[in-house]
Structure 1
Amino acid sequence: MFKGLFMLMLPNFLILTPLADWIDAPDSVLPIIQELLEAQYRIWIYSGDTDGRIPITSTRYSIKKMGLRVEEEWRAWFLRHQVAGWVETYQEGLTLATIRGAGHQAPVFAPQQSLALLVYFLAGNRLPVTPKI
């Protein structure tokens, strides 16, 4: 049995794939976001508030490192008379929003809130401050 396992270990093995250089920690996207904001693009970053893969706290810490000026403090946004998540906006054109009760793949966990967030973004509107139908 052991002899068979050792046969798999070739001494002169050459890896011919770009995946071999993959690392677990990718480069930061913060410089790209900063560049887009400076070019006056509107950017919305969203996350499910129960996302264990990329927690909203990590995203908030990263955005804080950018030194953006808060335009509207962290507040609830609504869909159908219910809190749909939380949102904070920045003067430079960035909006950070959460989708309440959603995990890493927010549209799978909360399709209605995810669609509403997209519709508001495409229309150029803020997320609702007060409950709406």
Structure 2
Amino acid sequence: MPDTVLPVIKELMASGISVWIYSGDTDGRVPVTTTRYSMSKLGTPVKTPWYPWYYEGEVGGYAVEYQNVTFVTIRGAGHFVPSYQPERALAFFMSFLEGKLPPGQN
């Protein structure tokens, strides 16, 4: 078993498909800080800097768009994001399906 999934992520990024990685911000198994550190190891340029995204007037989490990969956090969610924050998880997933970043503040 590999020590890291970064080679797989790089392969997916090179394929041209939309790659999104997400994490609940209270996830004790895969902390946001670890994922952010790993994302920086990919060495891909930032297209849209780290910003808060909103759901129903509240911060739903944070997002950053890199070239060929997007990382999104979901506020108040643990490892199984939809079980902790189903509405925010659905909003995030709808953004993915629409091919748009989660909405920033209006």
TM-score by length of 1: 0.76
Q: Which runs of 5+ in 1 are unaligned?
A: 1-25
Q: 1:41: which partner in 2?
A: 17
| Percent sequence identity over aligned pairs | 45
Q: CA deviation at 1:83?
A: 0.4
1:109 partnered with 2:95: no
Q: 2:7: which partner in 1?
A: 31
Q: 1:70: which partner in 2?
A: 46
SS of 1:73 mapped into structure 2: strand
Runs of 4+ in 1 over 4 A off after TM superposition: none
- The structure with more radius of gyration: 1
Kindly report the root-mean-square deviation, in angstroms, between the aligned alpha carbons of the 2 structures: 1.0
Cα distance between partner residues in 2 of 1:123 and 1:34: 23
Cα distance between partner residues in 2 of 1:53 and 1:126: 25
1:76-118, Cα deviation, whole Å (9 max, x unpaired): 0001111000000002x21100000111111111000001111
1:95 partnered with 2:70: yes
Q: Which runs of 5+ in 2 are unaligned?
A: none
How many residues of Structure 1 are paired with residues of Structure 2 in the alignment? Answer: 105
Cα distance between partner residues in 2 of 1:84 and 1:53: 20
Cα distance between partner residues in 1 of 2:26 and 2:74: 9
Q: CA deviation at 1:74?
A: 0.7
